[in-house]
Amino acid sequence: MNYWSEFTKGIWKKNPILVLSIGLCPALAVTTSLSNALWMTVAATFVLTCSNIVISLIKKIVPSHVRIPIFITIIASFVTIVELLINAFQPAVYEALGIFLPLIVVNCVILGRAEEFASKNEIFVSILDALGMGLGFGLALCVLAFVREFLGSNKLFGLTIISGMEPSLAMIMAPGAFLTLGLMLWGMNKINSRK
């Protein structure tokens, strides 16, 4: 097994947002700022990695007819840990991410990797898969957030970027999210079609 390809497949070849088109709800909702995108990346990658480890460990003892409820319970446990930690140490981030933090439980990226990969592979490969998918998810979120925050508020991390530039408020709203995501999908398809 090629460990490098297992890690990198989530970044480009099987990017959760840009190729598999899963996890779009948080991608469109929390990317109004780069800070939100980074925190969502950290939270989702933590949950994905921890749940992949546990599911890979217990895969042989879980009866097939109850595997999905067990996987969701494991994922929900790690989401609760993330929620409590972020609420305790970063209450402003907790408020900014809102309902999308607990919705990580039903994020198709995490449940999909548990069902498709961690339940069929060993721990080390499952960790690589989780980290690669988390990185790919995070890169897509961060590019989306960068464009939206820069064009929509002329700021990044609260700092003004171009003095005197008039921001386009539509980029911070839902149409800006869909437009930016559409352009990202078009760009990725163009790059892939040239290969």
pLDDT tens for 97-132 read 989 999 898 888 999 999 999 999 999 999 999 999
State the pLDDT at residue 171.
Answer: 94
Is 159 part of any domain?
Answer: no
State the pLDDT at residue 69.
Answer: 94
Q: Measuring CA to CA, which residue among 51, 52, 10, 50 is closest to residue 138?
A: 10
Q: Measuring CA to CA, which residue among 130, 132, 151 is closest to residue 140?
A: 132
Is 191 part of any domain?
Answer: no
Torsion of CA 77, 79, 84, 90, to 10 degrees: 160
Domain that holds residue 50: 3-141
Question: How much is the mean pLDDT over the chain?
Answer: 93
State the pLDDT at residue 75.
Answer: 96
3-state secondary structure of 156: strand
166-188: pLDDT as tens digits: 999 899 999 999 999 999 999 99
Is 117 part of any domain?
Answer: yes
Considering its fold, how many domains does the chain have in total? 1
State the pLDDT at residue 184.
Answer: 96
As a three-state string, the secondary structure of 52-118 is HHHHHHHCCCCCHHHHHHHHHHHHHHHHHHHHHHHHHHCHHHHHHHHHHCHHHHHCHHHHHHHHHHH
**What single-letter amino acid sits at 157?**
F
The pair of structure tokens assigned to 161 is 């970027």
State the pLDDT at residue 9.
Answer: 95
State the pLDDT at residue 114.
Answer: 92
Q: Is the Cα torsion angle 66, 109, 192, 121 positive or negative in sign?
A: negative
Mean pLDDT of 30-40: 94
**What single-letter amino acid sits at 79?**
V
Is 65 part of any domain?
Answer: yes
Is 178 part of any domain?
Answer: no
Enter the pTM of the model.
0.92
Is 10 part of any domain?
Answer: yes
Q: What percent of the chain shows pLDDT beyond 90?
A: 83
Residue 25 has pLDDT above 90, yes or no: no
Q: Tell me the CA end-to-end span of the chain in Å, nearest whole number.
A: 24
State the pLDDT at residue 23.
Answer: 87
Residue holding tokens 């993330």? 82
